[in-house]
């Protein structure tokens, strides 16, 4: 017989045991998990507070920069305290001119901050300088939450220096307050300094408890060395230095240095355009010799420029059949150098040379020589004046000078059946055949006599104009902007190769600097550059094929804000597709805004035998930009029949061949400020006072 009382007792014991186990489990969870729960709660509260400060940042920007004047803000402080401290941080901008006769100038503002702290968390969050920052209590480790108002783009530095002027201390779980902002143009108050700045240095100093985060921001925002961005732990200060170099410009379509050769081959076409003009550019369609020799008779509705100048102190072979140059030619005598113009070449411009000028079966617009000028056959024509200096002579032979002759040589002007259609200026009238000159003959001492004008020579390119300071150590950017289908990840993961198969966007809002060992834009693919971006293509030992290959399109510029590209390539550059700018951007008239793209080929890299080809294997290949060739050696720079360069080729130590292709000089490059690393030419400073009530 079963004892019912025993069964009832066991049920009670079971319940007690169950309750005991449950209470023990709950106690263990509370004991061991409380720290994790509190940590999670603290992190959530911290994230919420940082979001509140981001909203405050937006209110401040609207009040100070948006013209709204006053704004009201409400913050949930999660039980912490908020205070505004005018003395918490300092900001200064110092300009030091290179000219010792000019004075240094400094603009100093006590920017202060609005800071939050919670009694139970070792963390502070602050609004400072137009940005939001956070740091661990008792350390100098800090992190940027949102960037400050610091605008650095295209050599222009714009700094609205936010100055928190009121001192307020509040302890409230939910805070409501108002902010008022006023703006003063600091830089314009200086009477003796104007934009663009004269050569020198601009140094920015920030003293703040968040100086480490400011340092990280400056390093990410600029390309510089350790000397350019430096921190000082002893006084919580960071500085950033931006050089103001001598303004540079690019004035020729093709420019090469001493001891190198320029070859202009068959059907080559060199002219200019201005990408800042709204007029349609049509020069690239003038490929027939009949149109080149008589461009005024060619059907067109647009613009062709005559600034497609060529400059070299090496040899020039202008002997391509029916080649066409709309611009001047500058040639400075060098040991073993020469200049030859023949085989149907037509030059719409002057030829300036310190050496002999020989023209055979060709036409030039005018001649300025440091020696002799010789027309070899009856198909030679100088469609303008001739100037022969330094005892030079003019040998017309059976050809024609459709202009004046200015000669100071002992032999004057020699003619067979040739002709000078206007006047001759010679040391002695006996030095010229009167039957050769259709106009008058003038000697020294006569009122109308004029001496020959010396040749006008272009400045020789050198490495100093191709400074690439800071390009050797750019920050690594990742490829989060490109989907998996766009990038060959097997190539990218280990070797830092970027192989674009469809569409890839590199956005400056994500990263401003990228480092690759190879970039390949495949046929029908597109690599887009949005914002101002720097790319370094590094030559790596064991990877001989590294470099830049464009079979598709590399498009620079966002359609809403434009952008720019500065690229350094240590390997080869093969362009059979298009390197262009975004013509959808309203401020650019067309896809060839050359002053937005600068390409430096092998600046001190380890690559040897570097090649630069445009149009070798592609149809209508287009390379837009200013292309600098710094490496020494017998590297090949060639523009083939199906290739066009829109911009300029600047080669200090390389040969250049234009073999049936075209070079169209962008006249906007005349005003280009040559950069190397981070530099500044234009400075705009304002003090934006913020009062918190």
Cβ(500)–Cβ(481) below 8 Å: no
Pinpoint the alpha helices (H) of 338-461. Answer: none
470: pLDDT confidence band, cut at 50, 70 and 90?
Answer: very low
**Average pLDDT value for the chain:** 76
Q: Give the pLDDT mean for 581-601.
A: 86
Q: What is the pLDDT of residue 623?
A: 95
Q: What is the pLDDT of residue 161?
A: 81
Cβ(98)–Cβ(199) below 8 Å: yes
Instruction: Name residues whose C-beta falls within 8 Å of residue 201's C-beta, 6 or more positions apart in sequence.
Output: 95, 96, 241, 242, 243, 244
Neighbour-count burial of 346, counting CB atoms closer than 10 A to its CB (0-12 exposed, 13-18 middle, 19+ buried): buried
pLDDT digits (tens, 9 = 90+) for 422-466: 999 988 878 888 888 999 999 988 889 998 888 887 776 654 444
Instruction: Name residues whose C-beta falls within 8 Å of residue 284's C-beta, 6 or more positions apart in sequence.
Output: 269, 271, 644, 662, 664
Q: What is the 3-state secondary structure (H, E, C) of 300-313?
A: CCCECECCCCEEEC
Neighbour-count burial of 216, counting CB atoms closer than 10 A to its CB (0-12 exposed, 13-18 middle, 19+ buried): middle
Q: Give the pLDDT mean for 644-665.
A: 85
Which phi and psi angles does 663 have, rounded to 5°? -125, 120
27: pLDDT confidence band, cut at 50, 70 and 90?
Answer: low
Question: 20 or 657, which is more confident?
Answer: 657
Number of neighbours of residue 299 by Cβ within 10 angstroms: 7
Q: Is the pLDDT score of 672 beyond 80?
A: no
Rounded to 5°, angle at Cα 124 from 120 and 129: 160
Query: Residue 456: which region, alpha, beta or left (left: phi > 0; alpha: psi -120 to 50)?
Result: beta
Which phi and psi angles does 513 have, rounded to 5°? -140, 140
Q: Is the pLDDT score of 41 beyond 80?
A: no
Q: What is the pLDDT of residue 498?
A: 84
Q: Give the pLDDT mean for 546-566.
A: 88
Q: What is the pLDDT of residue 302?
A: 43
Question: 172 or 16, which is more confident?
Answer: 16
Question: Which of 452, 370, 351, 446 has the alpha carbon at shortest distance from 404?
Answer: 452
Number of neighbours of residue 476 by Cβ within 10 angstroms: 11
Element (H, E) at 40: helix 4-64
Question: Which of 564, 519, 554, 512 has the alpha carbon at shortest distance from 538?
Answer: 519
Q: Which of 160-174, 225-239, 490-504, 627-641 has the lowest mean pLDDT?
A: 490-504
Q: Is this structure's pTM higher than 0.85? A: no
234: pLDDT confidence band, cut at 50, 70 and 90?
Answer: very high
659: pLDDT confidence band, cut at 50, 70 and 90?
Answer: confident
Nearest-angstrom CA–CA distance, 431 and 608? 54
Q: Give the pLDDT mean for 556-584.
A: 88
Question: 36 or 55, which is more confident?
Answer: 55
Cβ(443)–Cβ(424) below 8 Å: no
Q: Is the pLDDT score of 552 beyond 90?
A: yes
Cβ(408)–Cβ(389) below 8 Å: yes
Q: Is the pLDDT score of 666 beyond 80?
A: yes
Q: Is the pLDDT score of 468 beyond 50?
A: no
DSSP states along 636-680: EEEE-TTEEEEEEEEESS--EEESS-EEEEEGGGGG----SSS--
Cβ(352)–Cβ(297) below 8 Å: no
Q: What is the pLDDT of residue 186?
A: 67
Cβ(382)–Cβ(360) below 8 Å: no
Q: Is the pLDDT score of 326 beyond 80?
A: yes
**Percent of residues, the chain, with pLDDT higher than 90:** 13
Q: Is the pLDDT score of 625 beyond 80?
A: yes
Q: Is the pLDDT score of 357 beyond 80?
A: yes
């Amino acid at each position: 017989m079963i004892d019912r009382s025993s069964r009832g007792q066991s049920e009670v014991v079971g319940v007690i045991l169950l309750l005991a186990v449950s209470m023990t489990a709950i106690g263990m969870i509370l004991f061991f998990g409380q720290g994790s729960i509190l940590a999670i709660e603290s992190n959530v509260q911290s994230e919420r507070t940082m979001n509140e400060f981001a909203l405050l940042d937006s209110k401040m920007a609207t009040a100070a920069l948006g013209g709204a004047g006053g704004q009201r803000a409400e913050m949930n402080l999660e039980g912490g305290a908020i205070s505004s401290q005018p003395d918490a941080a300092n900001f200064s901008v110092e300009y030091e001119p290179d000219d010792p006769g000019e004075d240094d100038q400094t603009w100093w503002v006590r920017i202060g901050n609005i800071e939050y702290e919670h009694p139970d968390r070792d963390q502070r969050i602050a609004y400072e300088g137009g940005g939001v920052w956070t740091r661990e209590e008792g350390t100098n480790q800090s992190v940027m939450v949102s960037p400050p108002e610091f605008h650095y783009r295209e050599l222009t530095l714009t700094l609205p220096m936010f100055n928190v002027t009121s001192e307020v201390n509040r302890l409230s779980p939910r805070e409501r307050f108002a902010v008022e902002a006023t703006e003063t143009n600091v830089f314009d108050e200086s009477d003796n300094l104007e934009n663009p700045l004269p050569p020198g240095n601009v140094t920015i100093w920030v003293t703040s408890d968040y100086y480490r985060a400011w340092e990280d921001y400056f390093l990410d925002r600029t390309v510089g060395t350790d000397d350019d961005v430096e921190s000082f732990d002893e006084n919580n200060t960071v500085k950033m230095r931006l050089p103001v170099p001598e303004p540079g410009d690019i004035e020729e379509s093709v420019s090469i240095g001493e001891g190198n050769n320029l070859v202009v081959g068959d059907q080559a076409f060199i002219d200019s355009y201005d990408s800042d003009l709204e007029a349609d550019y049509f020069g690239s369609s003038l490929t027939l010799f009949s149109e080149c020799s008589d461009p005024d008779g060619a059907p067109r509705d647009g613009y062709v420029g005559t600034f497609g100048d060529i400059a070299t102190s090496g040899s020039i072979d202008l002997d391509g059949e029916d080649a066409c140059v709309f611009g001047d030619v500058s040639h400075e005598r060098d040991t073993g150098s020469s200049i030859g113009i023949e085989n149907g070449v037509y030059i719409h411009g002057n030829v300036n040379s310190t050496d002999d000028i020989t023209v055979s079966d060709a036409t030039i617009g005018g001649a300025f020589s440091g020696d002799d000028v010789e027309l070899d056959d009856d198909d030679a024509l100088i469609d303008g004046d001739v100037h022969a200096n330094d005892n030079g002579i003019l040998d017309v032979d059976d050809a024609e000078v459709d202009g004046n002759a200015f000669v100071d040589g002992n032999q004057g002007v020699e003619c067979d059946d040739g002709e000078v259609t206007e006047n001759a200026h010679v040391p002695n009238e006996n030095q010229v055949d009167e039957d050769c000159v259709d106009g008058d003959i003038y000697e020294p001492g006569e009122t109308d006599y004029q001496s020959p004008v010396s040749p006008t020579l272009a400045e020789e390119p050198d490495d100093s104009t191709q400074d690439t300071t800071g390009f050797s150590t750019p920050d690594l950017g990742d490829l989060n902007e490109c989907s998996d289908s766009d990038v060959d990840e097997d190539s990218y993961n280990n070797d830092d190769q970027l192989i674009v198969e469809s569409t890839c966007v590199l956005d400056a809002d994500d990263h401003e600097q990228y480092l690759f060992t190879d970039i390949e834009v495949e046929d029908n693919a597109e690599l887009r550059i949005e914002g101002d971006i720097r790319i370094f293509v590094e030559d790596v030992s064991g990877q001989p094929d590294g470099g830049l290959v464009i079979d598709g399109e590399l498009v620079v510029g966002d359609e809403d804000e434009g952008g720019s590209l500065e690229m350094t390539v240590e390997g080869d550059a093969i362009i059979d597709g298009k390197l262009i700018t975004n013509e959808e951007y309203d401020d650019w008239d067309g896809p060839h805004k050359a002053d937005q793209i600068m390409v430096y080929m092998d600046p001190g890299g380890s690559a040897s035998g570097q090649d630069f080809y445009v149009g070798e294997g592609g149809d209508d290949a287009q390379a837009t930009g200013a292309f600098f060739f710094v490496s020494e050696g017998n590297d090949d720079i060639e523009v083939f029949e199906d290739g066009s360069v829109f911009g300029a080729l600047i080669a200090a130590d390389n040969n250049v061949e234009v073999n049936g292709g075209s070079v169209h000089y962008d006249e906007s490059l005349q005003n280009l400020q040559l950069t190397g690393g981070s530099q500044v030419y234009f400075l705009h400073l304002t003090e934006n006072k913020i009062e918190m009530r």
